[in-house]
């Protein structure tokens, strides 16, 4: 499905965005972050962003920066807009923001079953550096997480 969208813009996430972001996350994930998780990220001072076209929420990202490293904690794009480059735009944005905050490397975890995300990260030059056994809840037990990193230069 394709939408006519006004020029999308990255905005810092605020408390007023939490309901909408949590609802989008719930549509995207079988085991979503709650509104409380996003609120905790705001309170902790993480770099938390929304991508909007006018009033329409396109996506969001949560990045934790500690010293010279960053960790992408969560990222999502409205499923109706998948395949239109918004995930790539969000990823580029968070990499830039992490660099501006002094990070030299970005880490993330991803489900091996999330082929679209794995392909996106590999396209951006992320490399698989490990695996966390049983990291994610799954419909039948637990699913591993692939650990990726990328040097931010």
Residues acting as catalytic residues: 109, 121
Q: Note whether 144 and 134 are within 8 A (CB).
A: yes
The CA distance from 57 to 61, in Å, is 12
Of 112, 98, 13, nearest to 59 by C-alpha is 13
Chain centroid offset of residue 113 CA: 16
69-77 and 105-110 strand pairing: parallel
């Amino acid at each position: 499905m394709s939408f006519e969208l006004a020029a999308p813009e990255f905005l810092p996430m605020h408390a007023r965005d939490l309901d909408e972001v949590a609802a989008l996350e719930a549509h995207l994930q079988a085991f979503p972050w709650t509104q409380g998780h996003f609120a905790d990220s705001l309170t902790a001072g993480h770099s938390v962003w929304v991508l909007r076209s006018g009033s329409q929420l396109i996506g969001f990202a949560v990045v934790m920066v500690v010293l010279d490293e960053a960790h992408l904690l969560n990222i999502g794009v409205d499923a109706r807009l998948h395949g239109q480059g918004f995930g790539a735009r969000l990823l580029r944005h968070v990499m830039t923001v992490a660099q501006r905050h002094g990070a030299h490397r970005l880490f993330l975890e991803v489900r091996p079953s999330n082929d679209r995300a794995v392909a996106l990260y590999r396209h951006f030059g992320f490399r698989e550096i490990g695996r966390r056994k049983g990291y994610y809840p799954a419909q039948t037990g637990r699913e591993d997480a692939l650990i990726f990193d990328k040097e931010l230069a």
